[in-house]
Homo-oligomer: A and B are copies of this chain.
Amino acid sequence: MRSRGGGSGGIRGRSRFAVLGMLTVEPMSGYDIKKFIETSVAHFWRESYGNIYPLLNRLTEEKLVRRRTQRQKGKPDRHVYSLTARGRTEFLEWLGEPVEAETVRSELLLKLFFGRHLATERLESHLEEYREHQTRLLAALRGTREMLDRNHADHPDLRYWLLTLRRGELVARARLQWARESLHGFAKNPGKK
């Protein structure tokens, strides 16, 4: 019996397709992939180097990507990866499959759920911090959007990138609204409702 356990979906991890997908944009090194993720999908997806590098090696073994090595002076060799035909096929297959249930976990909500045991000021400071975080996030999203409009107005992926940005903005706004509303609620009625 060898198909037990494992995250949420057998042997096919989530990260592999993220990486594969980034390579549909253009050939990149592991380092590039990380940077690109940070400036494009960071609001809904992250990867660490400790995940990316071993992954790229596995993908190379599986012939889903091809590696070209560029020698550099004073720096380690730069490995530029590009999709193979098989890699592209597998990626497209995944892309068409229904989205698997997402595991959501919000530590903030968990803390608020038990908020009765928390001093009102602490509770408010949690909300406060959250509000600030969402504000920063919104600003970052707007920044990204402006950057895209400026630098990538003709990029074939632009439309889809904006789609995800838009969701980020709408959700961040809703969270912001909720944080404000909740803070007002506690300001008016510190002890109880």
Contacts and interface: CB of A to CB of B under 8 A. Distances in A.
Given A96-B122, A156-B116, A160-B113, A45 B105 contact: yes
Given A116-B160, A117-B95, A44 B174 contact: no
A68 interface: no
Nearest to A47: B105
Copies in the complex: 2
Interface stretch (A59-67, A70-78, A141-149, A162-170): A162-170
Contacts of A105: 14, 44-46, 102
B21 A113 contact: yes
B193 A159 contact: yes
A117 B99 contact: no
B192 A159 contact: yes
A59 B44 CA distance: 33
Contact of A106 (B44, B170, B178): B44
A88 to B, nearest CB: 9
A187 interface: no
Q: Which 3 A-B pairs have the closest CB atoms?
A: A174-B174, A115-B160, A44-B106
23 contacts: A21-B110, A21-B113, A41-B109, A41-B113, A44-B104, A44-B105, A45-B110, A95-B111, A95-B114, A95-B117, A96-B118, A96-B119, A99-B107, A102-B107, A109-B164, A114-B160, A115-B160, A116-B159, A170-B175, A171-B174, A171-B178, A173-B174, A174-B174
